[in-house]
Amino acid sequence: MKFATSPSALHVLLLEDAPAYENLQMSEPRPACINSIDGTDIPAVPLYAAIGPLHRHLISLCLHNPYWNDFRILNHFHRRKIPLTTNDLILLKAQCGLDNGETICNTLIRLSVQGGLKLNSRQISFIEKNKPEFRERDLSPSHPGELLVYECLFGRGIGSLGRVYAHFFIDIFTGYAFGGLSQRRSLAVGLDILLSTIMPLYRSRNYQLQMVYQSSKVMNDLRDFNKLESEEAFSQLGLQWQPTQRKFGAIEKFEKSLIANQFFETAASNSDSLESIKPLFNQCLVKYNSSNRLFSKQYLSEE
């Protein structure tokens, strides 16, 4: 049988050599019945105290076809005359450590980045759906400040305030996010955040900002940039600013976190003034940064 080995010692059995039921070699007998998650006894199938061929088969199946649901996985096994039940599959997944989408996603990333696995289109799509920032894998800054991305987000009505915009920056190297709220869409607001908040923090850590990609498909944003670029004060910053129509996954990830934390609903119920909802937005930023595994506190932690 063919195997690929990752640095995490996960052995992935290639599907073209996946065993049929009659070819599985049981390393240790299993009791005739096991307790299912609802407390009832179910007939046992050959599972293993250690990872065996059946486990490797399931690992390969889940990683090769990450969108497959339990019905499709069971159908695959049944066609190979491996009579798994739904409860058996749940137990097998738990034993393999692949019982949720995030684990599958993280495993695929490890196998790709550390193990050299060439991802197929389904795997890439699955990772990008769960971790949008994976779309930036073609960007490879080597230190903080080398590449930031910026976008003016949403512009939706919040209670009596009307339209509110979030000017949002993220460092592609650290994954660290900055931002602020305004009732103005103007690029000047984003630049003010850059000058008053971001640049001083980087300079205090002896890092220099080099490049900002501005994500936008709005012509007014491009006109704002052209006007800004002609100003002497901007040119003296020594900063490259590049407008692009690319939608960055890291920004999409932050948008999803705002929705998950019910920012808009909470803000709408406390929308007496813009100042009254700014602390709520700042809390979302802090929570986002603290939960970001790519963020390294040694670089930019704010004291």
Residues 269 and 160 in one domain: yes
Amino acid symbol at 19:
P
Q: How far apart (Å, rounded) are the C-alpha atoms in residues 35 and 252? A: 42
Task: For the chain, give the percent of residues with pLDDT over 70.
Answer: 76
CB 177 within 8 A of CB 289: yes
The pLDDT tens digits for 133-143 are 899 988 989 99
Domain boundary among 95, 130, 165: 130
CB 178 within 8 A of CB 144: no
Residues 158 and 294 in one domain: yes
Q: How far apart (Å, rounded) are the C-alpha atoms in residues 208 and 228? A: 20
Residues 31 and 88 in one domain: yes
Residues 207 and 282 in one domain: yes
Where residue 225 falls among pLDDT bands split at 50, 70, 90? Answer: confident
- Which residues make Cβ contacts (< 8 Å) with residue 199, sequence separation at least 6? 209, 237
Q: How far apart (Å, rounded) are the C-alpha atoms in residues 92 and 58? A: 8
Number of separate helices (H) and strands (E) present in the chain: 13, 9
In the numeric block, the tokens 């052995």 are attached to 11
Where residue 235 falls among pLDDT bands split at 50, 70, 90? Answer: confident
Residues 159 and 280 in one domain: yes
Residues 73 and 151 in one domain: no
The pTM (predicted TM-score) of the whole model is 0.71
Residues 79 and 216 in one domain: no
The pLDDT tens digits for 149-185 are 999 987 677 888 888 999 999 999 989 999 999 999 8
Task: For the chain, give the percent of residues with pLDDT over 90.
Answer: 38
In the numeric block, the tokens 């990008």 are attached to 128
In this prediction, residues 53-66 reach a mean pLDDT of: 91
Where residue 100 falls among pLDDT bands split at 50, 70, 90? Answer: confident
CATH of the domain at 257: 3.30.420.10
Nearest to 45, CA basis, from 68, 11, 36, 66: 36
Of 18-22, 90-94, 256-260, where does mean pLDDT reach its minimum? 18-22
Domain count for the chain, please give it: 2
Residues 111 and 243 in one domain: no
- Which residues make Cβ contacts (< 8 Å) with residue 286, sequence separation at least 6? none
With 60 as the cut, is the pLDDT of residue 1 above it? no
Of 5-19, 136-150, 261-275, where does mean pLDDT reach its minimum? 5-19
What number of residues does the chain have? 303
In this prediction, residues 12-30 reach a mean pLDDT of: 38
Residues 150 and 274 in one domain: yes
Domain boundary among 112, 130, 148: 130
What's residue 230's pLDDT? Answer: 67
What's residue 199's pLDDT? Answer: 93
Q: Which residue segment(s) compose the domain that 175 sits in?
A: 138-300
In this prediction, residues 81-100 reach a mean pLDDT of: 89
The pLDDT tens digits for 193-203 are 999 999 999 99
The pLDDT tens digits for 126-135 are 999 999 989 9
Domain boundary among 130, 155, 170: 130
In the numeric block, the tokens 């052209």 are attached to 226
With 60 as the cut, is the pLDDT of residue 14 above it? no
What's residue 39's pLDDT? Answer: 40
Which is more confidently placed, 91 or 270?
91
Estimate the crossing angle of helix 274-290 against helix 249-260, to 10 degrees: 110
Strands of the sheet containing 211-215, edge to edge, are 177-182, 163-171, 148-157, 211-215, 240-244
What's residue 6's pLDDT? Answer: 34
Residues 179 and 255 in one domain: yes
Phi–psi pair at 154, nearest 5 degrees = 45, -80
Which is more confidently placed, 28 or 222?
222
Give the mean pLDDT of the chain: 78
Residues 204 and 241 in one domain: yes
Residues 26 and 174 in one domain: no
In this prediction, residues 113-129 reach a mean pLDDT of: 91
In this prediction, residues 277-298 reach a mean pLDDT of: 78
